[in-house]
């Protein structure tokens, strides 16, 4: 679970405050069963056990007091000569070593400590679903009484972080973490339940090159730094400070191996000395005084390289306000949290800069912004589920929607509940609502979860709550309807959450809008693998389709199905009939299947397909639907139908990486890749008919 840089007050009974330790985030497994065993991982899963043997020894000794294995979350920090945590730069010489002799030497000269702040597993019990306060109480029971400075518990202040903030300012440390007392631990997610309150301005930057040294300086003069914006690396400044001779040499050797003739920056910077460009694969942590008016770093100082941060995730961090008012939510002490049903109403704001790896993604003005209303709604849903209560939420001002059975488990193996699905759709609503706007929806309901019996619902069976859009289509287009019974129409948060409340896991819109139901806005080729066919083969067929479409100059947009397949969408000219769009797809599908008969087929009979990928063009019939972009799916891994770049398809991806628990980070990293479908030039239908017939 990762913290978000967002507004947080310094006083709030709903929050627990901790110092923001400036080290290496670490997960630690301690098994007390003889012989005691300790394993340390970084947040990216890189094992660090051998690099901190003194911590391993102390943890092995501490294991004697444990009755069962535990998993701890915490921070490895360097210590000064008085035993106080100091900055990450003091670990820089340590984290890249592999020689045991060098590691032992630095262990003697630079002491370190592991500061635990969370307990994720206690024996066979997974503690992540418990509130933070309960996990903290369990952590204190297991580790109170450690008598070594190398093992510590984080300092906490309940409800009032002012004294910690003042001390952090006096000591020049990085700031605080404000954690919601009732928050559950969400593995791998960056959550508004944990928020960073920063004092010193510092963040990670991607290294895109270096400059020649001046005068007596060795190796290089300065590092050229950037952040990602809209999929492109933007230059933000250079730093020549913070290096010693040994670090200059080490960095220079790393940079030389990455040197390239092409600048990775969108606009190559002008430099006083000759620049050298590198592939953007290294990330440096830098502190600085402020951002200048032209968005450059003022007085940047190099602190060290980060091997636990992916370059593609680096973007400019916003500067949050501190001490803003916030409505109160239940909490009392580190060992106890209120469960009395207080209704939360919090107002954090998360502004994530979206980037993509392949050209402009046309993101919304404020991508992934969790505004005050959405944040309060998410908190309300979480509170109701925690207390196992039904209740009312407000998806928009003046609209009330009843939600029930939020703790009902929809994905038993993953322990994902109906409440978590509702919160997922609320979080990504700014992305999915434009996808379904004005489109009739088909519901596939799973009232008993993904393993229970599911059924389709084509129309509203009762009067929906105010704000939920239902419209009646002409009888000629909607013969299944009865007088007065309309279809749900997508585009509003109230409709999205109401359908989810009805246990509709996926969002399945028509390809046309209610304003012009006979005209499809786009068509799709559905790649459906036969049993036993690998996803690698699905990707092969997708690449061949892409090649054919590129030959025609036809734009196309791929996405995972959220299950085992892949969809390729093609934008159509205005007023294109469903029949014309389907003919276009039929020609492409038949052509690809004819060129690659061992891998692809258009055979409708399942038994006759063999071990091939069915290239299905028949989904383009009026009234048929596919799960839309960003829709959750009832797959065993809680997949999401995820937009991809063609670069990713050609490189190869695993669809199981894209789930309702990873999608928020995905969107922060690559942005709204699906926006291009709405803005792209349409396909030239005549071209395919001329070239392929």
**Catalytic positions, please?**
20
Q: 10 phi and psi, to 5 degrees? A: -90, -10
Q: Tell me the H-state helices in 448-534.
A: 493-501
Q: Which residues contact 279 (CB under 8 A, 6 or more apart)?
A: 258, 260, 264
**DSSP three-state, residue 545:** helix
Q: 595 phi and psi, to 5 degrees? A: -80, -25
Distance from C-alpha of 221 to C-alpha of 241, rounded to nearest angstrom: 9
**DSSP three-state, residue 489:** strand
* 126: number of Cβ within 10 Å: 13
Q: Which residues contact 360 (CB under 8 A, 6 or more apart)?
A: 230, 231
Helices (H) and strands (E) in the chain, counts: 16, 34
**DSSP three-state, residue 226:** strand
Residue 522 · residue 562 · CB < 8 Å: no
Beta partners for residue 3, in sequence order = 191
Residue 591: in which H helix or E strand, if any? helix 578-595
Kindly tell me the sign of the dihedral angle through the C-alpha atoms of 128, 132, 138, 141: positive
Distance from C-alpha of 644 to C-alpha of 639, rounded to nearest angstrom: 14
Distance from C-alpha of 577 to C-alpha of 517, rounded to nearest angstrom: 9
Length of the chain: 693
Distance from C-alpha of 627 to C-alpha of 625, rounded to nearest angstrom: 7
């Amino acid at each position: 679970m990762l913290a978000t840089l967002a507004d947080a007050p310094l006083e709030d009974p709903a929050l627990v405050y901790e110092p923001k330790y400036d080290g290496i985030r670490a997960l630690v497994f301690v098994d007390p069963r003889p012989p005691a065993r300790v394993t340390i991982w970084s947040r990216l899963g890189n094992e660090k056990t051998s690099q901190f043997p003194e911590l391993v020894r102390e943890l092995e000794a501490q294991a004697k007091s444990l009755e069962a294995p535990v998993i701890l979350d915490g921070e490895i920090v360097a210590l000064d000569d008085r035993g106080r945590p100091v900055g990450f730069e003091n670990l820089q010489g340590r984290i890249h070593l592999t020689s045991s002799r060098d590691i032992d030497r630095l262990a003697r000269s630079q002491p370190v400590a592991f500061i635990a702040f969370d307990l994720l597993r206690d024996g066979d019990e997974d503690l992540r679903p418990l509130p933070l306060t309960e996990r903290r109480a369990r952590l204190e029971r297991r580790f109170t009484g450690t008598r070594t400075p190398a093992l510590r518990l984080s300092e906490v202040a309940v409800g009032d972080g002012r004294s910690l903030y003042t001390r952090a300012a006096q000591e020049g440390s990085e700031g605080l973490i404000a954690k919601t007392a009732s928050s559950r631990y969400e593995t791998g997610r960056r959550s508004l339940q944990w928020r960073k309150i920063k004092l010193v301005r510092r963040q990670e930057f991607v290294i895109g090159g270096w400059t020649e040294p001046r005068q007596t300086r060795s190796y290089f003069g300065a590092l050229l730094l950037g952040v990602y914006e809209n999929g492109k690396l933007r230059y933000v400044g250079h730093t020549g400070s913070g290096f010693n001779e040994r670090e200059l040499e080490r960095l220079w050797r790393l940079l030389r191996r990455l040197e390239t003739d092409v600048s990775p920056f969108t606009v190559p910077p002008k430099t006083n000395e000759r620049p050298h460009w590198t592939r953007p694969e290294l990330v440096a942590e830098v502190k600085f005084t402020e951002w200048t008016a032209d968005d450059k770093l003022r007085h940047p100082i190099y602190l060290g390289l980060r091997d636990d941060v992916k370059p593609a995730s680096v973007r400019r961090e916003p500067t949050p306000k501190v001490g803003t008012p916030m409505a109160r939510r239940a909490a009392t002490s580190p060992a106890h949290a209120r469960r009395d049903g207080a209704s939360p109403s919090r107002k954090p704001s998360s502004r994530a800069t979206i980037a993509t790896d392949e050209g402009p993604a046309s993101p919304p003005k404020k991508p992934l912004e969790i505004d005050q209303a959405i944040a309060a709604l998410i908190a309300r849903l979480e509170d109701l589920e925690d207390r196992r209560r039904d209740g009312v939420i407000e998806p928009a001002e003046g609209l009330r929607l009843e939600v029930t059975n939020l703790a009902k488990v929809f994905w038993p193996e993953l322990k994902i509940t109906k409440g978590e699905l509702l919160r997922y759709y609320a979080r990504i609503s700014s992305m999915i609502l434009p996808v379904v706007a004005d489109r009739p929806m088909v519901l596939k309901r799973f009232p008993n979860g993904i393993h229970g019996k599911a059924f389709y619902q084509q129309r509203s069976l009762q009067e929906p709550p105010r704000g939920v859009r239902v419209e009646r289509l002409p009888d000629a287009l909607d013969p299944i309807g009865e007088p007065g019974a309309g279809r749900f129409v997508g585009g509003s948060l109230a409709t999205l959450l109401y359908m989810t409340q009805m246990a509709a896991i996926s969002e399945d819109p028509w390809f046309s809008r209610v304003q012009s139901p006979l005209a499809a806005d786009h068509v799709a080729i559905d790649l459906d693998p036969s049993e036993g066919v690998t996803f690698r083969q699905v990707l092969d067929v997708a690449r061949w389709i892409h090649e054919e479409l590129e030959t025609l100059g036809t734009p196309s947009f791929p996405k995972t199905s959220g299950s085992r397949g892949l969809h390729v969408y093609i934008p159509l000219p205005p007023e294109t009939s469903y029949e014309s769009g389907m003919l276009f797809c039929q020609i492409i599908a038949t052509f690809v299947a004819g060129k690659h008969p061992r891998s692809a087929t258009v055979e409708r009979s399942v038994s006759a397909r063999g071990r091939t990928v069915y290239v299905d063009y028949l989904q383009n019939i009026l009234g048929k639907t596919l799960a839309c972009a960003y829709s959750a799916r009832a797959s065993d891994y809680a997949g999401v139908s995820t937009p991809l770049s063609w670069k990713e398809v050609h490189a190869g991806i695993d669809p199981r990486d894209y789930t309702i628990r990873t999608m928020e980070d995905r969107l922060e990293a690559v942005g709204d890749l699906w926006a291009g479908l709405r803005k792209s030039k349409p396909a030239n239908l005549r071209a395919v008919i001329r070239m392929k017939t």
